[in-house]
């Protein structure tokens, strides 16, 4: 090191010394910011709040109080999410409103609006299977909806099948 330092001129030594002092000063300032941030940023303007307590899960019901599956009877009320038993209870796609369609499983506001827009653009649905032409409804969603929706017999005119075939090609290519 002594040999390197002696080969430098007086000006070069001053520049290197100044760089060394500035580097050490910068390191010191960064350390102070980390350990004493209030010196640079002032006192904190928030108070740390503890997290709310996490609710504990209920203890399971003792097994002796649980009815055996053979003792459970259906009293005429269908389970939530179960498809209606009778065809009359199913939702008619040609008369359903956006709000009624939203009540179906897997159908949100956007998809309900698309179904109504499709019906307004191309006329009444000819079959439940025609739902797959609505963007966002595929085979899986159609199967989930099949037992919950129906199509009342629409009136057909001669031009409808050709328009629907063309529309089906257009909507499937999206």
Co-location of 164 and 94 in the same domain: yes
Q: Is residue 67 part of a domain?
A: no
Co-location of 92 and 168 in the same domain: yes
Co-location of 87 and 35 in the same domain: no
Q: Is residue 25 part of a domain?
A: yes
Q: What is the pLDDT of residue 14?
A: 93
Q: What is the pLDDT of residue 105?
A: 87
Please state the pTM of the whole predicted model: 0.43
Tens-digit pLDDT profile for residues 98-153: 999 998 988 999 999 999 999 999 889 998 898 889 999 888 888 888 888 998 86
d(CA 138, CA 46): 50
Report how many domains make up the chain: 2
Q: Is residue 51 part of a domain?
A: no
Closest CA to 117 of 166, 161, 171, 165: 171
Q: Is residue 145 part of a domain?
A: yes
Helix (H), strand (E) at residue 121: helix 109-122
Co-location of 90 and 162 in the same domain: yes
* Cα dist from 174 to 9, 38, 108, 132, 168, whole Å: 75, 57, 20, 13, 10
- The domain containing residue 20 runs over which residues? 2-41
Co-location of 91 and 17 in the same domain: no
pLDDT above 50 (res 69): no
Q: Is residue 73 part of a domain?
A: no
Co-location of 116 and 36 in the same domain: no
Q: Is residue 100 part of a domain?
A: yes
Tens-digit pLDDT profile for residues 33-47: 888 888 877 777 777
* Cα dist from 79 to 31, 70, 83, whole Å: 64, 17, 9
The CATH number linked to 168 is 1.10.150.320
Co-location of 95 and 36 in the same domain: no
Q: Is residue 75 part of a domain?
A: no
Co-location of 98 and 165 in the same domain: yes
Q: Is residue 34 part of a domain?
A: yes
């Amino acid at each position: 090191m002594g040999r390197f330092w002696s080969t430098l001129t007086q000006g070069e030594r001053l520049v290197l010394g100044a760089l060394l002092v500035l580097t050490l000063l910068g390191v010191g300032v960064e350390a102070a910011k980390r350990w004493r941030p209030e010196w640079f940023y002032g006192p904190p303007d928030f108070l740390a709040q503890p997290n709310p307590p996490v609710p504990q899960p209920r203890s399971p019901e003792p097994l002796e109080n649980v009815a055996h599956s053979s003792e459970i009877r259906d009293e005429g009320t269908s389970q939530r999410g179960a498809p209606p038993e009778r065809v009359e209870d199913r939702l008619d796609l040609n008369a359903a409103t956006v709000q009624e369609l939203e009540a179906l499983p897997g159908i949100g506001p956007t998809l309900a609006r698309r179904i109504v827009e499709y019906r307004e653009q191309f006329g009444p649905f000819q079959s439940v299977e025609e739902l797959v032409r609505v963007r966002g409804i595929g085979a899986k969603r159609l199967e989930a909806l099949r037992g919950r929706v129906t199509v009342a017999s629409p009136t057909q005119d001669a031009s409808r099948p050709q328009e629907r075939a063309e529309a089906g090609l257009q909507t499937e290519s999206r």
